[in-house]
Amino acid sequence: MTGYADHHTPNPAVTFFLRPPAHTIAHTTAQRLLATARTAPTLRARLAAGFTLIELMVVLVIIGVLAALIVPNVLERTDDARMTAARTDITNIMQALKLYRLDNQRYPTPEQGLQALVAKPTSGPIPSNWKPYLEKLPNDPWGRPYQYLNPGIKGAVDVMSFGADGQSGGEGKDSDIGSWQ
């Protein structure tokens, strides 16, 4: 592109008062803006440069605060879920025991135990109308077998889990969960 001086040769005495044409001013301004845009850091260049130490520390603090707030709630919910699962298992086992009694006029003996709901007992009294009442005998949510008491302490028979600690008694997650609840 040519400038103002290429087209006109004005009188040097009046050059001071003359202004260049508008298209030349616009062209010069565009060149200045383009040069500034090339030297100014773009968003892409800023992101490619990485994070500052302060930015990383702020992110780590935020993650730490969120973890401190969320983790205890999640762990508490896990214990509640296990206790609910134990209650559900015990309810299912009690239903199977009631069906066993309906078919055989008695509950399994303490020697036969809960295994009598899965496999036909081989020790007496041998049930005459036995059928499978459970596909599989579950363990409690903490991986231990459910306890069977016949006669029960709180009912005709009791089925229970000793809770998270695996011992009788306790409070909270360690409390016993039984068919009487």
Alpha-carbon distance of 163 to 142, in angstroms, equals: 7
In a domain, 22, yes or no: no
- Give the chain's domain count: 1
* pLDDT in single tens digits along all 181 residues of the chain: 555 555 555 555 555 555 555 555 556 666 766 666 555 566 666 666 677 889 888 999 999 888 888 877 766 678 888 999 999 999 999 999 999 999 999 999 999 999 999 999 998 899 999 999 999 999 999 999 999 999 999 999 999 999 989 888 888 888 999 999 8
Residue-number span of the structural domain to which 130 is assigned: 90-181
In a domain, 57, yes or no: no
CATH number of the domain residue 136 falls in: 3.30.700.10
Alpha-carbon distance of 96 to 145, in angstroms, equals: 16
In a domain, 55, yes or no: no
Quote the tokens at residue 53.
């130490």
Contact indicator for 159, 147 with CB cutoff of 8 Å: yes
Return the sign of the alpha-carbon dihedral for residues 100, 103, 106, 110. Answer: negative
In a domain, 119, yes or no: yes
In a domain, 46, yes or no: no
In a domain, 167, yes or no: yes
